Amino acid sequence: MLQHSIYGVPNLSEGYTSDDSARALIMAVGLYDRYRRKKFKKLIYKYVAFLCHAQNANGTFRNFMGYNREFLEEEGSEDCFGRCLWVLCYTLGSSVTPQNVKRTIGEMIQRALPHCLKLISPRGFPPGQKPT
């Protein structure tokens, strides 16, 4: 899932985001729930794997990844954190999510939960920035 495109052509200079992968995971779960096709199940694994890679050891998430597959920041915004946690909970609660994926997601959620108490805004600010 690339971040941007120029009409129907992927813009490789923009790279990837956890935000977009979270959105894609919701769609993959919904498509697999409705059609039960193997290709949609594979997408669930792909997007959970991306979010797992994007999660820092402390439970926060990085957001922007260059096309070279290196993250461009140490930690994403609170908005990114909230979206990632939301989609992980959504996927965990789905009856179509494979059990081994649910175990991975459960561990990811446990790492992320302590950060919920530190959130400043429901939409989020970049790390270190406070509302005015």
Q: Tell me: the pLDDT tens digits for 63-103?
A: 999 989 999 999 999 999 999 999 999 999 999 999 999 99
Indicate if the pLDDT at residue 110 is higher than 60: yes
* Higher pLDDT, residue 15 or 128: 15
State pTM to two decimals: 0.89
Instruction: Specify the pLDDT at position 51.
Output: 98
Indicate if the pLDDT at residue 39 is higher than 80: yes
Contact 49, 68 (CB under 8 A): no
Instruction: Specify the pLDDT at position 125.
Output: 53
Q: Which of 15, 25, 8 is nearest to 97 (CA)?
A: 25
Instruction: Specify the pLDDT at position 40.
Output: 98
Beta strands in 4-72 (DSSP E): 5-6, 9-10, 16-17, 64-65
Instruction: Specify the pLDDT at position 69.
Output: 92
